[in-house]
A and B are shown apart, each in its own frame.
Chain A
């Protein structure tokens, strides 16, 4: 049985380590904050200028001066700090953020990522995604394995790239893949419960090796 969105987020949360500074993208990645393992403390960065994001406010406590990068109202924590956009992206581009978890339209076996633009459609913009994938130490993609039954894990991306050779791990509803950015390709590490090797092969265009325990 494929993982649900929450189970995908729960699996991604296992990539968090104590003391990490983490940026979570919009969509399924946001759910990861609900599954931070006990005993682990991480600080969530919001690229509009905040470290240590707190949960949504209680009804009536919303503050228009306190939002996350998805423009949602949030709260601060005792560890919170605020800063301007240039310093915020100095953190991102300077390699000070440990982990970025974000969504994708396509990922290629060489670590290329496409998640911002479909030619011919209205383009909303890349926001901070290109900075995050270029600067953050480790990039984990959290996405559905296919879109309308078309594979999203490809030999080469067909959509315009967000970054070239930037993805370290892909977690889908069917399994977990590791990508070696230095060119030794993609490896299937885990399968979701009751998902077969045959099923995942049929829904994946990219080439991949089988990790220990799956071969």
Chain B
């Protein structure tokens, strides 16, 4: 079966519908699926629930889908970098569910591993625990959190082979590997594409079973949010 698609339009063809749930990898603007986000914008699909640690910034990343009002609801841990997000939220045009970052990651991991729910200490005694079942284990209180899956996961990897085996680069890895496991369909955009057999099997981060479609682009914008440097000595 061929997993390689010629461009983002082809890679997402037949997968998008209004009201769907999409997971998008990335932390800040690092490791975001920028080509696939741009294609979702052009497709005009709307009423989306988007699961992503952050919501991009004004004019980049998921910020693009906020400008076009395609997102109905965000499930995130931190959205502080985005003025448009605040405006839409305060006007009631955008729903928001905050999850602690580790709870979000673990919900996605569980969702991808067929685990419907798990107990965690994170959020006990806070607003996050409201309405959730609690239980004592070994004298400590835990809250029940549900696994999380999506109709579609869009992710960014550094390198893929034609089987869909993926390698990520540095901190651009972040949520991408877990989200790959939790999409009913997972589409990966990659910077390098090689024939199967060209990646050492011991070095593969995400096995190809989790990746249904791959699209390769040579050039990515890769914006930096906080450019911090030191002077050469």
Tell me the chain B residues, 160-176 only, with Cβ under 8 Å from chain A: 168-176
A93–B171 touching, CB < 8 Å: no
Query: Which residues of B have CB within 8 Å of A89?
Result: 101-102, 105-106
**Which of A74, A86, A122, A127 is B228 in contact with, Cβ under 8 Å?**
A74
A49–B174 touching, CB < 8 Å: yes
B125 CB to closest chain A CB (Å) equals 3
Query: Which residues of A have CB within 8 Å of B76?
Result: 125
Binds B, one of A12-20, A59-67, A146-154, A186-194: A59-67
Query: Which residues of B have CB within 8 Å of A93?
Result: 102, 106, 120-122
A156 CB to closest chain B CB (Å) equals 12
A65–B229 touching, CB < 8 Å: no
Tell me the chain B residues, 192-233 only, with Cβ under 8 Å from chain A: 205, 222-232
The chain A residue sitting closest to B31, CB to CB, is A65
A125–B230 touching, CB < 8 Å: no
Binds A, one of B3-11, B42-50, B77-85: B77-85
B228–A126 touching, CB < 8 Å: no
**Which of A59, A60, A127, A135 is B78 in contact with, Cβ under 8 Å?**
A127
B125–A161 touching, CB < 8 Å: yes
Contact with A along B104-120 (1 / 0, CB 8 A): 11101100000000001
A73–B224 touching, CB < 8 Å: yes
Tell me the chain A residues, 35-57 only, with Cβ under 8 Å from chain B: 46-50, 55-57
Complex alpha-carbon distance, A15 and B126, angstroms? 27
A64–B109 touching, CB < 8 Å: no
The chain A residue sitting closest to B142, CB to CB, is A134
Contact with B along A72-88 (1 / 0, CB 8 A): 11101000001111101
Interface flag for A197 (CB, 8 Å) = no
Contact with B along A92-111 (1 / 0, CB 8 A): 11000000000000000000
**Which of A59, A123, A131 is B102 in contact with, Cβ under 8 Å?**
A131
B181 CB to closest chain A CB (Å) equals 9
B173–A130 touching, CB < 8 Å: no
A53 CB to closest chain B CB (Å) equals 10
Q: How large is the interface on A (under 10, 10 to 19, 20 to 34, 35 or more residues)?
A: 35 or more
Interface flag for B30 (CB, 8 Å) = yes
Contact with A along B24-39 (1 / 0, CB 8 A): 0001111100000000
B171–A48 touching, CB < 8 Å: yes
B77–A126 touching, CB < 8 Å: yes
Interface flag for B127 (CB, 8 Å) = yes
Query: Which residues of B have CB within 8 Å of A82?
Result: 168, 170-171, 173
Interface flag for A27 (CB, 8 Å) = no
B28–A67 touching, CB < 8 Å: yes
A162–B126 touching, CB < 8 Å: yes
Interface flag for B19 (CB, 8 Å) = no
A128–B98 touching, CB < 8 Å: no
Interface flag for A2 (CB, 8 Å) = no
Given contacts A71-B30, A125-B77, contact A130 B122 (CB under 8 A): yes
B173–A64 touching, CB < 8 Å: no
A130 CB to closest chain B CB (Å) equals 4
B143 CB to closest chain A CB (Å) equals 10
Query: Which residues of A have CB within 8 Å of B104?
Result: 85
Which residues of B approach A to under 8 Å, CB–CB?
27-31, 53, 76-81, 86, 89-90, 98, 100-106, 108-109, 120-128, 158, 168-178, 205, 222-232
| A-B residue pairs, 8 tightest by C-beta | A164-B125, A89-B102, A124-B80, A131-B102, A125-B78, A130-B100, A64-B222, A85-B105
Sample of 11 more A-B contacts, CB < 8 Å, known A129-B100, A161-B127: A50-B170, A59-B232, A64-B224, A65-B31, A67-B225, A73-B226, A84-B174, A85-B105, A89-B106, A125-B78, A130-B103
